[in-house]
Amino acid sequence: MIRALLPLLLIAAAEPAEFEPAQRFADAAACRTHLEGLVEQARQQDFDAVEGPYSIAAGDVRIHMVRAEAEGHRIDEHRCLGAELSARSWRHTISRAKADEPFTIESVARKAEWLKKGSGKEE
């Protein structure tokens, strides 16, 4: 269930920072291989969720690493746009003053109005 909800929660998170260029690889395949290595390292660390690599669009491959922090969570995102690696990190805070239940992925999903309105795709 966490794997299904994580991409949706990332979309609903607070305004993410801009991507910062990190490294250039020989080609897109080498960049993706680097992302796979980052995922393996992150899964051995104390991240609460690690997803990817997955394609957002042609030539746009990303991974996400999420760590719970105090009143929310920190999201680290790495992107291969072709052979160009870039990264960004931002914090999404949940106000405890408004919370009527503990912060969990399930509690956020239950309260997300955009989930109740459908997939968001135009027909």
Helices (H), the chain: 2-12, 28-43, 105-111, 113-116
- Token representation of residue 26: 């020989």
| For residue 120, pLDDT beyond 50 | no
Burial class, 28, CB count within 10 angstroms (exposed 0-12 / middle 13-18 / buried 19+): middle
Local confidence band at 93 (pLDDT 50, 70, 90 cut-offs): confident
Q: What angle do CA 78, 80, 82 make, to 5 degrees?
A: 170
* Domains defined for the chain, CATH in brackets: 2-101 (3.30.160)
Local confidence band at 15 (pLDDT 50, 70, 90 cut-offs): low
pLDDT in tens, 77-87: 999 999 999 99
The answer to whether the beta carbons of residues 35 and 113 sit under 8 Å apart is no
Q: Measured between alpha carbons, how far is 56 from 5 in angstroms, rounded to an integer?
A: 16
